Amino acid sequence: MHPNNKKTLRLILGDQLNIHHNWFHTVDETVTYVLMEVRSETDYVQHHIQKVLGVFAAMRAFAQTLQNLKHRVLYLRLNDADNLQSFDRNCEALIAKHHFTRFEYQLPDEYRVDQCLKAFAGSLTLETKVYDTEHFYSTRSELKDLFAGKKSYVMETFYRYMRKKHQVLMAYGNKPLHDKWNFDEENRQKLPKNHKPITPLVFENDASGIETEIKKAHIKTIGTVDSKKFLWPINRIQSLALLEFFIEHCLPQFGTYQDAMALDEWSLYHSRLSFSLNIKLLSPKEVVDKAIEAHSNRKTEIAFHQLEGFVRQIIGWREYMRGIYWLKMPEYASLNYFEHKASLPTWFWTGQTNMNCLKQAIQQSLEFAYAHHIQRLMITGNFALLAGIDPDEVDAWYLGIYIDAFEWVEITNTRGMSQFADGGIVGTKPYVSSAAYIHKMSSYCGTCSYDKSKKTGANACPFNSLYWNFYARHEQRLAKNPRIGMMYQVWNKMQPDDQAAILKQADLYLQQINEL
Ligand code: FAD
Ligand code: DLZ
Ligand code: SF4
């Protein structure tokens, strides 16, 4: 074929909004970019309305940016008559209509979409090429290579490897700065009484037109939105503003209150950058670099342990979860170590429960499409695990409800870290707790109609009996775990009558789970 007849179609997915990608460095008349709003993506799980709205608004803004830079762009809106509602069918139709001679795309982050586009590209008679997204620090297979021949995967090992490889927070001789890799013991305090955290920065995007289109298409969604004042960042400028806000106001307290939870406070000192990061409006490297730069300019204000705690989340946990995902999919999505089969309580979809901690975490999730890590792990996730909920249902809930939920990072956190359904690939022990931990880290228990200190009887906090019931039920699987053995010593020291009463209380609560 004559080179002048070359016409390339490049697909950009809704979570590939990286303007610094090599693709966009030069304007090429023979290249057409396409973005599409499709039912295959809006319907693979029931999403929060803010997630669908946020992704569409960001995709539209990104298409506009590309057009302003003089790139050729096609954009298929949800209700366009010629929208065939999936990536492959739309691309096939566009290739035929516009006589494209090449098809190119970037590596999808999700296994399902990866399979779909691989199959599609394989079915074409044209030349095809797949590119890296140029977003992550590590490749899909780097974790696999690092742990080749090892029996288990350890986040801390991966984190140190990443610190060394990318020379992040390192001193002379490949030693960690301040001689320690991890400063966790200086972090994780409860919020002091009368401490008023910073008011979160929110945006006021008018996305009401998009909401109307979503409603017209009858897409089933979760949660609420004020679409005239859509609060999440939808472009790079807003994402950078949120990053600045975090670094200026939240980073100095980030590690200290990382695990704290407080009544009516939905994000405390967390960054809320996960949405911008996951759709690639921000790169993890620029986030880490900005945080490090701020620390070096404001050392007295931003202690090193705050910085290290934050950097670990990004170059450690985030990259680690992605590595595990690509190592273990697709099998990972059906792991159910404890063989849990119960259904999610109905109040997970409404927040209407008398358990104050769950009410707070779920209601804010419905209102903001956001809960911070410890709410996800130690409130909703903890309850789901103690109550023996089927990990498929837990996954679907987390994948739908959060603005930042994309399977590569959602499933490893949910099925792995939170539900231990992978039997210990991500974590070394299940993250469960009774009310004692929740009371220690939050201000939820004080105004709860349940009594945090009771295991049995009227108004006993459900977490207490469910906690021991969980250990008793799974003794065979857990007693040998060296990090848990001690719990069984405590359980076995209890009087048989007390044990029986606790198990009976747990049974009662599980039978009435929708009324708790
Ligand atoms: P911050 O607390 O400010 O942390 C900074 C950044 O570090 C985050 O933006 C995120 O990119 C990264 N990070 C922190 N913890 C993790 C982690 N465990 N795994 C991966 N990255 C991390 N994160 C998602 O991005 N998408 C999800 O769908 C998701 N689902 C989760 C489900 C469960 C059950 C749990 C326990 C955690 C989940 N997480 C998920 C991880 C974490 O809770 C969120 O990244 C975090 O709450 C996002 O808020 P933030 O940006 O304010 O985070
Ligand atoms: C999450 C999402 C939604 C709701 N809708 C779209 C869409 O209509 N078009 C699109 O390109 N992407 C969407 N996304 C993000 C994709 O689900 C995401 O790109 C894939 O899961 C790959 O990670
Ligand atoms: Fe949650 Fe129990 Fe505390 Fe109530 S008493 S807030 S249910 S831990």
CA distance 6 to 403: 39
In this prediction, residues 386-408 reach a mean pLDDT of 98
Instruction: Give pLDDT tens digits for 171-223.
Output: 999 999 999 999 988 888 999 988 999 999 999 999 999 999 999 999 999 99
To test the ligand 3 pocket, which listed residue (353, 374, 461, 467) has its Cβ within 8 A of the most ligand atoms? Answer: 461
| Topology at the third CATH level for domain 142-204+234-328 | 1.25.40
pLDDT over 80 at 255, yes or no? yes
Q: At what angle do helices 496-511 and 462-473 cross, to 10 degrees?
A: 110
Q: Report the predicted TM-score, pTM, of the whole model to 2 decimal places.
A: 0.97
pLDDT at 485: 84
pLDDT band at 5 (very low <50, low <70, confident <90, very high): confident
pLDDT at 187: 80
pLDDT over 80 at 4, yes or no? no
The CATH class, in words, for 3-131 is: alpha beta
CA distance 133 to 18: 8
pLDDT over 60 at 3, yes or no? no
pLDDT at 496: 96
Q: Mean pLDDT of all residues in the chain?
A: 96
Atom 9 in ligand 2: residue holding the nearest Cα: 37
- DSSP letter at 373? H
Instruction: Give pLDDT tens digits for 45-84.
Output: 999 999 999 999 999 999 999 999 999 999 999 999 999 9
Distance from the CA of 269 to the center of ligand 2, in angstroms?
28
To test the ligand 1 pocket, which listed residue (51, 267, 307, 404) has its Cβ within 8 A of the most ligand atoms? Answer: 404
In 183-235, which ranges are continuous DSSP H helix? Answer: 208-216
Greatest Cα pair distance in the chain: 86
User: What is the three-class DSSP state of 122?
Assistant: helix
- Does the C-beta of 359 come closer than 6 Å to ligand 3? no
pLDDT at 197: 93
Backbone angles phi, psi at 37, to 5 degrees: -95, 115
Distance from the CA of 15 to the center of ligand 2, in angstroms?
6
Instruction: Give pLDDT tens digits for 85-113.
Output: 999 999 999 999 999 999 999 999 999 99
Task: Single out the residue of 488, 486, 483 nearest to residue 472, CA to CA.
Answer: 488
Distance from chain centroid for Cα 125: 37
Instruction: Give pLDDT tens digits for 285-322.
Output: 999 999 999 999 999 999 999 999 999 999 999 999 99
Atom 14 in ligand 2: residue holding the nearest Cα: 14
In this prediction, residues 339-346 reach a mean pLDDT of 98
Distance from the CA of 275 to the center of ligand 1, in angstroms?
9
Backbone angles phi, psi at 342, to 5 degrees: -70, 160
Domain residue spans in the chain?
3-131, 142-204+234-328, 346-515
Give the C-alpha distances (Å, rounded to integers) separating 67 from 33, 74, 115, 154, 268: 10, 10, 30, 44, 38
- Does the C-beta of 270 come closer than 6 Å to ligand 1? yes
DSSP string, 448-515: -SSBTT-SSSTTB-HHHHHHHHHHHHTHHHHTT-TTTHHHHHHHHHS-HHHHHHHHHHHHHHHHTGGG
User: What is the three-class DSSP state of 77?
Assistant: coil
- Does the C-beta of 373 come closer than 6 Å to ligand 1? yes
Reported for 413-417, long-range contacts at CB under 8 A and 24+ positions apart, including other chains, are 413/321, 413/376, 413/377, 414/381, 415/332, 415/333, 415/335, 415/391, 416/321, 416/324, 416/332, 417/377, 417/381
What is the token pair recorded at 499? Answer: 């044990």
User: What is the three-class DSSP state of 232?
Assistant: coil
pLDDT cut 70: percent of the chain above it: 99
pLDDT at 258: 94
Instruction: Give pLDDT tens digits for 131-160.
Output: 999 999 999 999 999 999 998 999 999 999
Give me the count of residues in the chain.
516
Give the C-alpha distances (Å, rounded to integers) separating 152 from 138, 149, 167, 314, 418: 19, 9, 25, 21, 18
Instruction: Give pLDDT tens digits for 157-176.
Output: 999 999 999 999 999 999 99
Instruction: Give pLDDT tens digits for 238-252.
Output: 999 999 999 999 999
pLDDT cut 90: percent of the chain above it: 95
Distance from the CA of 460 to the center of ligand 1, in angstroms?
31
pLDDT at 1: 45
How many C-alpha atoms does 288 have within 13 Å on its Cβ side? 22
- Does the C-beta of 163 come closer than 6 Å to ligand 1? no
- What region does 248 belong to: left with phi over 0, alpha with psi -120 to 50, or beta? alpha
- Does the C-beta of 378 come closer than 6 Å to ligand 3? no
To test the ligand 3 pocket, which listed residue (382, 444, 516) has its Cβ within 8 A of the most ligand atoms? Answer: 444
| Topology at the third CATH level for domain 346-515 | DNA Cyclobutane Dipyrimidine Photolyase, subunit A; domain 3 (1.10.579)
